Structure 1
Amino acid sequence: MRNIKMTIEYDGGRYLGWQRLSDSDKTIQGKIENVLTSMIGTKIEIIGSGRTDAGAHAKGQVANFKTTSTMECAAMLDHLNRYLPRDIVVKEIEEVPERFHARYNANGKKYSYYVWNNNVPSAFERNYSYHLPVELDIDKMNEACSKLVGTHDFIGFSSLKKSKKSTVRTINEITIQKEGDLLHFTFIGEGFLYKMIRIIMGTILEIGAGTTEIASIDAIFKSGIRSEAGMTVPSQGLFLDEVYYN
């Protein structure tokens, strides 16, 4: 049995997220599995490093699948990119050890979130950023980012209702780069809860706009109450950039 690892990029704008759904064919996982199953001739199920939300994008999603097929990786790559929709691209395929697992072996992820910060919207960035036409205080947002870095219980910055599993996560780095009118936020951490980055972004932006105080971050960590955190920003500004493995 061979174990095949794929690195995938996609524009998630017209999809309902990564995870396969029983009642819809508009998922990234579903589209890739359909092409693989047709190509190999047996039902293929792929394991992703994690889910991405409906409308979110990826530049470096990782997935793996098991197969007895003898088809060369180069031929698989060619076939997938010939028959997948043009907004899903498999960038790399390689054979990996049998025990490799795209989700369980991942020990970190890098995400980006983009904000178009101008009174006038952008025709080109509208599908890949959140348009916020208010003045933002970069220094305050950087201060907020520094408070969020580290190991904390992020349940208050998540859309999880209740969880038997730990909601403690470690964020190693949050940075902000200003690229003209585009603000590029980068998140690097061991893992992220459901909608955690989008809620953190909403909180940071409200602090930058002056409608929320920086001290609210400590209060949210203490209470763990979702309603005390900021809005959930739209998904089109979110990209999964890279998944890290040992």
Structure 2
Amino acid sequence: MGHPGDKWDALIERVQSDALLWFSDIQEEWLDLLWTLDAYRRESTPPARMGNPKARPRPRLAGIYRGKGNWFAQIVALLLENQTTQVIAPRNRIQGFSQTHQIDVAWPDRKVDPLICVETKVTGGPPYGSHNARGALNDWSNRRKELKFAATDLKLYRRGMETRIDHWDQWRTNESPSVYLLWAARLGPSETVEDIVQEAQSLTNSYLDGAGVLCWQEAVDGTSYELVNLPNQARVHELDDVLYRIATAIQQGTT
């Protein structure tokens, strides 16, 4: 099974030392990392050398498990840095019109008025203890509201009280920053990739400038995770397609 901390260190080292550009280059390692982390989750056992050693096992493991979202954001930032040679800031607090927002990836690296903001989400988890498996869409209604609000509030900041919105789609498309969603989803037993695509598509139709999706599920033999391909007709894109769009926008913004 291995150790999730060791696998994470090896994954980040490969992204940096090999100057990797695409998530597809490391997606199998990502799935193996999540499988290993989830194995500890199933056993309710915190991995050695990870988390707060002074905490009790359950809250210590919960803290470690929440870190997978930071892992994903860090990988995205590194891949974009490799593609653009720009400094890409992970986990920044960015000023919106009405409040500051915790944004997973932002460019340029500044707290006010970035041109590109990327929200990353890692959802879904295995059963453990007395808890059932957590689906990728559990609590998604709240996450959806947060994404809609953040995307709008960040765009409103640029002009503040002078903003006049005559046509919503035209305004949100033309106003900075461009806001993207990169979503890594572990499908629950009753969920399908089409469910994830539909949710992501509804956001790009009305609030976001693009969305990339990576889905996986437990393999039939129960020994690993396997990738679930997007439907051919899906209007939501794979992660690498949206990474390319973001990197291209960054490069155009530096010329």
Q: Same fold (TM over 0.5)?
A: no
The structure with the largest helix share of the pair is 2
Structure with the bigger RCO (C-alpha within 8 Å, sep 6+) is 1
Could you state the TM-score of these two structures normalised by the residue count of structure 2? 0.27
The structure with the largest strand share of the pair is 1
Could you state the TM-score of these two structures normalised by the residue count of structure 1? 0.27
